[in-house]
Structure 1
């Protein structure tokens, strides 16, 4: 679908900010689109941001109807907006010069390159499956934090649903994001895990350093742990089966079909087996969980973290999904 005409488009937008228009008024809404050659660049040129803000502030219902009308005429085979949003967020989490350091010497990557870069080369932190530690950037960490918060918002469907006793109800947002449709699943899982386990709130141990300098890494670590838990809490292989007393129980050992596609995040966590990877994960989690127990001669001189619950749940997920585990004497079981 293309916009009808430049003049009519501008006039119609001004009309939208003043007069409520019924969604059933097809004659009005159809004037926005026709088979003309208006380009996207023309739209950005002819429609100032102030006009869009005016519609949003004065007639939000008109703006909502406009968005629905723009989408409902698309091809039936087109990707749903929710999936497009999740894929766009995943791309932005590995966008050079926005959330990761660019590898180019001559300049930043172009927008076209974003869809074909190898995100495994842009993992955020050294650790499991990645040996190179990229330079830390305050701006990159802020951008990552905001994008991960947006992901959590997308994953929060369960907050608005009534409690149920019917077992697992798959969250379609998490289900899609953890599937093979997300080409960044592996580097993102590795980035989130490494960011959490590599974090050291004490640093060099200088007393009261947390009062002198802002720690921009802690908010990223906390939201990374939350996103990681949200993705690992969605196990499509768990199905419903009748128990001995006739009630329905959930088990992952039945021969029934899984509830949805394989959760790649669960799969990657279950396949960790190298001794050095287990040492990195357990050392990092132990360091963070022991943080409140640190005693110093100077009161309140050491930074204290506040996301212990997320760390405990993450450790439980590791024990639950990974059956290899390190042996007491070293090596994997």
Structure 2
């Protein structure tokens, strides 16, 4: 369609669709839309947004208001019928005088027209009922008024040459039009001379029968079909239309998407023949995993469009594959594509998957690309979708998850996943990537063997990209993982707050297995504890205490199961004993007094700077003070750096006393960590206060936290919690039940060594690295993501010894 006259004529045909009413379906004029365009750009440019919206806006004479429309123009129905009918005809019989003529141009134009039109139908709310009736009810004859005698004529919409008598006008002609369109498109994915190489039938003519075979070698096939570049381009066009047809959910409100039935996807995932299902999923998966196997062919980003002709096909395959395997069938129906993915079991298939995923994800993190780092793309364009595919594989196929961990490849993926999380954490537009990475790690962490595999020394830290390196790092994979979890927890991006429960759940799940944690890693965990145990954090909203409970459970898991193997961690806990004792002494009265004290300090700071705080002094209104008026009264508690550990108690107090807040009188970090009502109490008096022994249940709710750790020294508020006011009744629900018993018993045991404790250790009371951490059913609970219960053997022995003394 290179000539300007041809384009002008085609544009006039489009104008005629909107300007002329009820063009007859049997007119040969409709074939112009399928025969004239030569490229995808022609269809995109000539079918403008204005033209398409004018077709979906139909104002009948009896309903003059546009908002009352219930159907598009009659010509839209005819255009859809003629386009789908032509696609079916080209697939089932020879229509050209020359039987060797290629069918691709007409097929591509029909596919492109529907791809262009469907989104405008979906976005028009007034067409929802019409769309449901037109596409998803049994197909009936279509009627048109004969201008010669003003009588209605009836035709089969998919075959304009087949007329229907008036008596049969209500008789169904076949399955719904939408289902037929899905079947036609799936057949074109496996159609010779279109998406597959040319084939001849027994008469030497081009084959018109779909051939359901896997496109690429890999899973389900030892040899590929040898698709040409033209075949690949045609497959991209068909996949785009399938994606557009399945995109109905994009036009629903977020809260009701899961409740709506996406008819094309329901039909695809439940009604397709098993052979079609298996060949489709293997073709899509193999095409993605075989992409870019030669690392030196990785596309170079020079600021222009990519020259990689394979990338559009891989991207479309990956997107359509994810749509198929993640679709929740209504009424808890079985998704056959997801079932097929979950049934994979051969080791060679898993090896193929692992290598393919790794090859895509490793590109920006690979050391071999450092010489051209400024030229290569930072992140592969399909990396987010690849991470999604990896997560879905981990969830729906337990054998794959076990294979990944048993072969030690899980450690490699921990590094890769952390790279994408850290690289994207400060970009609000990439929060979805960070979430996906965290959920991948959480899914892996529920496996017992995963935690054990993390105790291997991390020996290639210096070869990692700069964004992934930890200063002065030395330790195991567990140290590396916890270090970057600390980075994500203390990130300044408030959009990551909802991930804090999942991040703490990872530490909680691997806690019973990690050994020989380094001092820096232990300090990071204590750093997070100090921030979460501040009154300003606990009283900020009604759910922040759950994060503290989760962190305490993680610390308990390490102490209960790997006490002997984590001497540095135990030492850090003991050195920080006053932090835990302060939390133990954090009573309801002290909490309320702390709120009033902080309100007074903010008021004094406001008067000193000439700005008054809107919060009332001496009341709980201070918890709702805007962030801009809050005073940093707890800045002396380190939050974004490693928690300082001295050689003894005096060194600890000496170090913390040098970190006083610039807006208040110089006080030690310890005093700020201890509630005001307990600061004048003696150590002996504090020790007499009760220790909560009831452990709070672990939670992994994604919306638990609304407070960012980078500002835990101030009272944080959010839109959903701006009216929250802490009350004594609310404080009583969790303060007496904080799981501090294990930690404080460990501290007391370390502070007061005695012969009986040593004998208990010699007798094996303290669990070794191989102590079983759970009773019957522990493995099943771990796989469900639940916390593993401890056996308090060494704590019980210490309590007996203390009583005897």
Q: TM-score, normalised by structure 1?
A: 0.68
Confirm whether residue 64 of structure 1 aligns to residue 138 of structure 2. no
Q: Note the alpha carbon deviations across 1:20-58, whole angstroms, 9 max, x for none.
A: 548xxxxxx9xx69xxxxxxxxx58x54645999xx979
SS at match of 1:179: helix
8 Å Cα contact 1:205/1:302 also seen in 2: no
- Root-mean-square deviation (CA, aligned residues, Å) is 3.8
Confirm whether residue 110 of structure 1 aligns to residue 211 of structure 2. no
Q: Report the Cα distance in structure 1 between the residues aligned to 2:267 and 2:312, rounded to whole angstroms.
A: 26
Residue of structure 2 in register with 1:286 after alignment: 358
Confirm whether residue 269 of structure 1 aligns to residue 341 of structure 2. yes
8 Å Cα contact 2:195/2:231 also seen in 1: yes
Q: Note the alpha carbon deviations across 1:172-225, whole angstroms, 9 max, x for none.
A: 111101223355221111000000111116x26269778799311111111111
Shift of the 73–227 alpha-carbon distance from structure 1 to 2, 3 Å rule, reads farther
Shift of the 273–17 alpha-carbon distance from structure 1 to 2, 3 Å rule, reads closer
8 Å Cα contact 2:291/2:314 also seen in 1: yes
Confirm whether residue 141 of structure 1 aligns to residue 141 of structure 2. no
Shift of the 190–206 alpha-carbon distance from structure 1 to 2, 3 Å rule, reads closer
Residue of structure 1 in register with 2:776 after alignment: none
Q: How far apart are 1:158 and its partner, in Å?
A: 0.7
Which has the larger Rg? 2
Residue of structure 1 in register with 2:218 after alignment: 127
8 Å Cα contact 2:195/2:227 also seen in 1: no
Q: Report the Cα distance in structure 2 between the residues aligned to 1:207 and 1:225, rounded to whole angstroms.
A: 18
Q: How far apart are 1:164 and its partner, in Å?
A: 2.1
Q: Report the Cα distance in structure 2 between the residues aligned to 1:309 and 1:207, rounded to whole angstroms.
A: 17
Q: Report the Cα distance in structure 2 between the residues aligned to 1:290 and 1:110, rounded to whole angstroms.
A: 42
Q: What is the 5 A alignment of 1:1-150?
A: 20-21=20-21, 46-47=28-29, 49-50=31-32, 60=55, 61-64=73-76, 66=78, 69=143, 71=157, 73=169, 75-76=171-172, 78-104=174-200, 107=204, 109-111=206-208, 113-114=209-210, 117=211, 119=212, 122-150=213-241
Q: What is the 5 A alignment of 1:290-301?
A: 290-294=362-366, 295-300=369-374
Q: Report the Cα distance in structure 1 between the residues aligned to 2:17 and 2:223, rounded to whole angstroms.
A: 52
SS at match of 2:255: coil
Confirm whether residue 170 of structure 1 aligns to residue 182 of structure 2. no
Q: Note the alpha carbon deviations across 1:69-102, whole angstroms, 9 max, x for none.
A: 4559473261111111111100000001210124
Q: Report the Cα distance in structure 2 between the residues aligned to 1:51 and 1:209, rounded to whole angstroms.
A: 38
Shift of the 75–291 alpha-carbon distance from structure 1 to 2, 3 Å rule, reads farther
Q: How far apart are 1:299 and its partner, in Å?
A: 4.5
Q: Note the alpha carbon deviations across 1:212-254, whole angstroms, 9 max, x for none.
A: 9931111111111110110111133xx7xxxxxxxxxxxxxxx
SS at match of 2:296: coil
Shift of the 185–141 alpha-carbon distance from structure 1 to 2, 3 Å rule, reads same
Shift of the 73–64 alpha-carbon distance from structure 1 to 2, 3 Å rule, reads farther
Shift of the 207–281 alpha-carbon distance from structure 1 to 2, 3 Å rule, reads closer
Q: Report the Cα distance in structure 1 between the residues aligned to 2:178 and 2:269, rounded to whole angstroms.
A: 14
The farther-off stretch of 178-187 and 215-224 is 178-187
Q: How far apart are 1:134 and its partner, in Å?
A: 2.9
Q: Report the Cα distance in structure 2 between the residues aligned to 1:302 and 1:129, rounded to whole angstroms.
A: 33
Residue of structure 2 in register with 1:219 after alignment: 312
Q: Report the Cα distance in structure 2 between the residues aligned to 1:315 and 1:190, rounded to whole angstroms.
A: 16
Residue of structure 1 in register with 2:281 after alignment: 189
Q: Report the Cα distance in structure 1 between the residues aligned to 2:311 and 2:222, rounded to whole angstroms.
A: 22
Shift of the 20–185 alpha-carbon distance from structure 1 to 2, 3 Å rule, reads same
The farther-off stretch of 192-201 and 213-222 is 213-222
The farther-off stretch of 271-280 and 286-295 is 286-295
8 Å Cα contact 1:229/1:314 also seen in 2: yes
SS at match of 1:178: helix
Name stretches of at least 5 consecutive residues in structure 2 with no aligned partner: 1-12, 36-46, 56-72, 82-141, 144-154, 158-167, 409-448, 450-805
Residue of structure 1 in register with 2:391 after alignment: 316
Q: How far apart are 1:146 and its partner, in Å?
A: 1.0
8 Å Cα contact 1:170/1:234 also seen in 2: no
Shift of the 162–132 alpha-carbon distance from structure 1 to 2, 3 Å rule, reads same
Residue of structure 2 in register with 1:6 after alignment: none
Q: How far apart are 1:284 and its partner, in Å?
A: 0.4
Q: What is the 5 A alignment of 1:229-244?
A: 229-236=322-329
Shift of the 105–278 alpha-carbon distance from structure 1 to 2, 3 Å rule, reads same
Q: Note the alpha carbon deviations across 1:243-300, whole angstroms, 9 max, x for none.
A: xxxxxxxxxxxxxxx444x211111001000000001011100110111223232345
Shift of the 139–19 alpha-carbon distance from structure 1 to 2, 3 Å rule, reads closer
